[in-house]
A and B are shown apart, each in its own frame.
Chain A
Amino acid sequence: MSFVIEVKDLKKSFGSFKVLDGVSLSISPGESYVVIGGSGTGKSVLVKCILGLLDYDGGSIKIDGKEVNKIPAKEMAQTLLKCGVLYQGGALFDSLNVIDNVSFGLVYGYGVPIKEAYKTAIEKLYAVNLDERIIKAYPAELSGGMKKRVALARAIATNPDIIFFDEPTTGLDPITSGTINELIVKCTKEMGISALSITHDINSLKHISDRVGLLHKGKIIWEGENSELTSTDDPFVRQFITGSPVGPFTTEGL
Chain B
Amino acid sequence: MNFLIFLEKIGEMFISFLTAIGKLSIFLVKVLRFGTTPPYYWRQIAGHAIQIGYFSLPVVGMTAIFTGMALTLQCSSGFSNFTAESAIPAVVMLAMTRELGPVLAALMVAGRLGASMAAEIGTMRVTEQIDALTTLSVNSYRYLVFPRILTGVVLMPFLVFIDDAIGILGGYIVGVYYLGYNSANYIHNTFVTMTAWDVISGLIKGSVFGFMICLMGCYHGYNSEGGAEGVGRSTTNSVVAASILILIFDCILTFVLF
Seen from chain A, the residues whose Cβ lies within 8 Å of a Cβ on chain B are 48, 51-53, 77-78, 80-81, 83-85, 87-89, 91-95, 104-105, 108-109, 111, 154, 158
Extra 8 A-B pairs, beta carbons < 8 Å, given A92-B132, A109-B136: A91-B131, A93-B124, A94-B123, A105-B136, A108-B39, A108-B143, A111-B39, A158-B136
CB of B19 closer than 8 Å to a CB of A: no
The number of chain B residues touching the other chain, given as a range, is: 10 to 19
Residue contact B136 to A104, C-beta cutoff 8 Å: yes
- Chain B residues with CB below 8 A from A51, complex form: 131, 134-135
Interface residue B189 (Cβ < 8 Å from any Cβ of A): no
Asked if B15 lies at the interface with its beta carbon under 8 angstroms from chain A, I say no
Closest 7 CB pairs of A and B: A109-B137, A91-B132, A105-B136, A91-B128, A77-B137, A85-B135, A87-B128
Q: Does B138 contact A (CB under 8 A)?
A: yes
**Binary per-residue interface labels of chain B (117-141) against chain A in the complex, 1 for a CB within 8 Å, 0 otherwise:** 0001001100111011111111100
Q: A32: shortest Cβ distance to chain B, in Å? A: 19
* B123→A87 contact, CB < 8 A: no
**Chain B binding surface, main DSSP class:** helix
Could you say which of A52, A78, A109 has the most chain B C-beta atoms within 10 Å of its C-beta? A109
Instruction: Quote the shortest CB–CB distance from A158 to chain B (angstroms).
Output: 8
B124 to chain A: which residues have CB within 8 Å?
Answer: 93-94
Say yes or no: B137 contacts A80, CB within 8 Å. yes
Output the nearest chain B residue to A101 by Cβ-Cβ distance. B132
A89 / chain B contacts, CB cutoff of 8 Å: 127-128
Question: Contact: B129 with A93, CB < 8 Å?
Answer: yes
- Pair count A-B, CB < 8 A: 59
Which residues of the partner chain A approach B132 to less than 8 Å between Cβ atoms? 85, 87, 91-93
How distant is the Cα of A52 from the Cα of B139 in the complex, in angstroms? 13
Q: Do the beta carbons of B129 and A109 come within 8 Å of each other? A: no
CB pair A87 B136 closer than 8 Å: no
B134–A108 contact, CB under 8 A?
A: no
Closest to A157 in B: B136
Query: Which residues on A sit within 8 Å (CB–CB) of B123?
Result: 94
Chain B contacts for A80, CB-based, 8 A: 134-137
* B218 → A minimal CB distance (Å): 15
> Least Cβ distance of B136 to chain A in Å?
4
A52: B residues at CB distance < 8 A: 134
Chain B residues contacting A92 (CB-CB under 8 Å) are: 129, 132
Q: A85-B132, A91-B132 are in contact. Are A108 and B138 (CB under 8 A)?
A: yes
Q: Which of B120, B127, B129, B135 meets A83, CB within 8 Å?
A: B135
**Max chain A C-beta neighbours (<10 A), residue from B41, B123, B124, B128:** B128
> Per a CB cutoff under 8 Å, which of A81, A91, A95, A105 touches B127?
A91
* B217 vs chain A, min Cβ distance (A): 16
Give Cα distance in the complex from A89 to B126, angstroms. Answer: 10
Shortest distance between the CB of B213 and any CB in chain A (Å): 20
Nearest Cβ on chain A to B73's Cβ, whole angstroms: 43
Q: Give Cα A154 to B135, complex, Å.
A: 11
- Chain A residues positioned under 8 Å from B39 (CB to CB): 108, 111
Hey, which chain B residues are within 8 Å of A88, CB to CB? 128
A sample of 13 cross-chain residue pairs with beta-carbon separation below 8 angstroms, ordered by A number, consists of A53-B135, A77-B137, A78-B137, A80-B135, A91-B128, A91-B129, A92-B132, A94-B129, A108-B138, A108-B143, A109-B136, A109-B137, A154-B136
